[in-house]
Amino acid sequence: MKKTFLNLGKQPIANGFLYKEQIKDEYYFRLKMAFDKETALVTQVNYVDGDLMFNDDYAYRGSMSKTMVKHFKTFSKTISSNKNILEIGSNDGVFLKNFSPKKAIAVEPCGNFAKETQDMGYTTYHSFWDVPLAKKIVKENGKQDIVFAANCICHIPDLDSVFKAVEHVLNEDGTFIFEDPSLAGMINNNSYDQIYDEHPHIFSVIALDNILKRNGLQVVKVENLKVHGGSNRIYAKRIGSKVHDSVYQNKEYEKVLGLNKFKTFKRFAKKVKQSKKDLRRILKKCKKLNKKVISYGATSKSTTIFNYCNIGPDLIDYITDTTPEKQGKLSPGMHIPIISPEEGFNDTVDFAYLGAWNFVDEIIKKEEEYVNRGGKFITHVPLVKIT
């Protein structure tokens, strides 16, 4: 049974960057989070239809961040080149390009990206991940040694169907490896912007193990990662496989944080409300002092922040983003213009709100000149502050 703990109000499609003419047709939904008592899963009350988010206009491109390119390259080296591998949600091939097309299969629902991996030589299934597709893949390619997914499984509402399909496609000793933002990270950072349409769930190890187990799999190892503001890389195998200490340790830690209890999330909701007040106060003060405030990175996360906190072009002049598909468009819901960093990140900027706070190390390194001339960043993670 789901129990609601947080209401983030009316929200648009987080990656639905749009032109002015499209505003009249913009789609909105109510974003509410709940705790499922049976599995301890933190999940949305109502899910948004996948076709509205993952279509041929999907704008998020994994290769846009140096951090993520390096992250996937490093991880790919830990996988033996004689294993065959299937990736669910292969995006622009940022992970798969580290493997030979003879050994790797891509699954991707967004047509623009499915075409890219196809053109790179990878057998690509332009489809959502489900049991019928898993059966088709086994028929055409045989069982797989490794199924990989990065920032994808938490995008899929029906986890039982996802795990059943993985269980079908894996060979007897196969491993399912997937990484997503962690619930512990979100609670510790007060990063409620991890919640948006594309993230119907924020995972704890406890909840994942509960749901994997009812589908023939179990968590056998956990790695804690820094990416995306704190993620977990989960290794799952068939029930009965050897379980690594990291699984027990992570579950213990999650219990200490109270991630198996509803009251923890009620407390979190209170902190979220305070964060909204604090962020609006700082931005309003900057405007009053006639300072120029922009946002750094047109992220899906900042869609949640701007819409929940009612932050529009009155408080943020514009957003800079390196992704060509986003430039020249408006941010979802609040319609703040997006331009390239070359055009917008210049001497006139006084404050930059870190929409892409999860890439803070990469950004500070890149923007040394801005920092040296006195430019400031604003963040809400873990507390609202100017840095």
Interacting residue with ligand TMP among 295, 299, 304, 307 (CB under 6 A): 299
CB of 384: closest distance to ligand TMP in angstroms?
Answer: 18
From 65, 90, 204, 232, residue interacting with ligand TMP (rule: CB under 6 A): 65
Report DSSP letters for 138-151, one per residue: HHHH--EEEEEEES
In the sheet that 2-12 helps form, which strands lie side by side, from edge to edge? 2-12, 28-36, 41-44, 201-202
Q: How far is the CB of 353 from ligand TMP (least distance, A)?
A: 12
Helices (H), the chain: 50-53, 66-76, 111-119, 131-141, 159-169, 183-189, 205-213, 245-257, 262-288, 300-308, 341-344, 360-366, 368-372
Judged by CB under 6 A, does residue 362 bind ligand TMP? yes
At residue 173, what are phi and psi to the nearest 5 degrees? -100, 15
Q: In the set 71, 233, 301, 329, which binds ligand TMP (CB under 6 A)?
A: 301
Instruction: Give residues 217-236 in contact with ligand TMP (rule: CB under 6 A).
Output: none
Contact between 363 and ligand TMP per CB under 6 A: yes
Buried b (16+ CB within 10 A) or exposed e, 134-155: beebeeeeeebbbbbbbbbbbb
Q: How many whole angstroms separate alpha carbon 172 and alpha carbon 169?
A: 10
How far is the CA of 44 from the CAs of 31, 35, 134, in angstroms? 7, 8, 26
Q: Using the rule CB under 6 A, which residue among 109, 297, 333, 344 binds ligand TMP?
A: 297
Smallest gap, in angstroms, from Cβ of residue 207 to ligand TMP? 23
300 binds ligand TMP (CB under 6 A): yes
The one segment of 19-27, 75-83, 244-252, 297-305 that binds ligand TMP by CB under 6 A? 297-305
Q: Shortest gap between Cβ of 301 and ligand TMP (angstroms)?
A: 5
Q: Is 64 in the site for ligand TMP (CB under 6 A)?
A: yes
Piece in contact with ligand TMP (CB under 6 A), picked from 90-98, 264-272, 318-326, 371-379: 318-326
- For residue 126, the 8-state DSSP code is -
State the Cα–Cα distance between residues 34 and 42, nearest whole angstrom.
6
b/e map of 224-250 (b: 16 or more CB within 10 Å)? bbebbbbbbbbbbbbeebeeeebbeeb
Q: How far is the CB of 373 from ligand TMP (least distance, A)?
A: 18
| Interface segment toward ligand TMP; rule CB under 6 A; list 1-9, 43-51, 238-246, 293-301 | 293-301
CB closer to ligand TMP out of 87 and 167: 87
Please work out the total of residues on this chain that contact ligand TMP, with binding judged by CB under 6 A: 17
Task: Map tokens 């993620």 to a residue.
Answer: 231
Should residue 60 be labelled a site residue for ligand TMP when binding is judged by CB under 6 A? yes
Q: Map tokens 């290769």 to a residue.
A: 63
Residues paired with 34 in a beta bridge: 4, 43
Residues between 325 and 344 that touch ligand TMP (CB under 6 A): 326
Judged by CB under 6 A, which stretch of 251-259, 295-303, 304-312, 329-337 contacts ligand TMP?
A: 295-303
Q: Shortest approach of ligand TMP to residue 190 CB, angstroms?
A: 17
CA 342 to chain centre: 26
Q: Residue 237's beta-bridge partner residues?
A: 218
**Of 160 and 342, CB closest to ligand TMP:** 342
Q: Which residues bind ligand TMP (CB under 6 A)?
A: 60, 64-65, 297-301, 321-323, 326, 356, 359, 362-363, 366
